[in-house]
Amino acid sequence: AQTVTQSQPEMSVQEAETVTLSCTYDTSESNYYLFWYKQPPSRQMILVIRQEAYKQQNATENRFSVNFQKAAKSFSLKISDSQLGDTAMYFCAFIHTSGTYKYIFGTGTRLKVLA
Amino acid sequence: EPEVTQTPSHQVTQMGQEVILRCVPISNHLYFYWYRQILGQKVEFLVSFYNNEISEKSEIFDDQFSVERPDGSNFTLKIRSTKLEDSAMYFCASNLDRVEGGTQYFGPGTRLTVL
């Protein structure tokens, strides 16, 4: 079964601190992409960062970076210098590159950045 | 920057009524998707659409649902006879092709409330 697990339903972090959101997934495929999406209170889905499974180098996007451990099927998101605007629901997702192209989402982590 | 748009932002309907949710994907995109998010739950795939036909559908996408691209720009989701459990946020997404990293671009969503 293809599943994505986010084991932290809620987290909080002080402004300017660093926080790591965890994600594990299960797939028998070798080629896929992994994503983190942010969903603020407006409920829009905003792409935060993307990782190709065939790349060993961890993706970074400004204050956002990932720790991708393919063997462990782990894909955590690190947010550095947290800002109040980072307060949102964060969803981890993956998509295969062959056959189906639907996203499989995790259940989300609600992150609150405290002033 | 091009965006996926969705109308209406909020639709309220009576149980048993038909609703049509509208999406305008990014203009040169070829692949289109609908996802659903029941309040407090994860985002779930409903259907994908390419070349004027359904590519894949989930078990949620039963006979009461249909999709079409009536005029080359709009992409619609019709729910024939709404049920209380259809209350959810519905997201449209699109991408240009499946090898651009798999990234799907989401619209802002339509909140459907069935009374």
Is A65's pLDDT higher than 60? yes
The pLDDT value recorded for residue B38 is 93
B108 touches chain A (CB under 8 A): yes
Which of chain B's residues have a Cβ under 8 Å away from the Cβ of A32?
102
Contact A35, B103 (CB under 8 A): yes
The pLDDT value recorded for residue B115 is 96
CB contact under 8 A, A45 and B44: no
In the predicted model, what is the mean pLDDT of residues A95-114? Answer: 87
Is B101's pLDDT higher than 70? no
pLDDT in tens, B18-62: 999 999 999 888 899 999 999 888 899 999 999 899 999 999 999
pLDDT in tens, A70-91: 999 999 999 999 999 999 999 9
- Residue A84 has phi, psi (to 5 degrees) of -55, -35
CB contact under 8 A, B42 and A107: yes
Q: Which of B43, B48, B58 shows the shortest C-beta gap to A101?
A: B48
Which of chain B's residues have a Cβ under 8 Å away from the Cβ of A93?
43
C-alpha dist (Å) from residue A82 to A32, A64, A88: 29, 10, 12
Confidence of residue A2 (pLDDT cuts 50, 70, 90): confident
CB contact under 8 A, B45 and A102: yes
Contact A47, A34 (CB under 8 A): no
The pLDDT value recorded for residue A31 is 84
Is B100's pLDDT higher than 60? no
Which of chain B's residues have a Cβ under 8 Å away from the Cβ of A95?
102, 104
- Can you name the residues that pair with B65 across neighbouring β-strands? B79
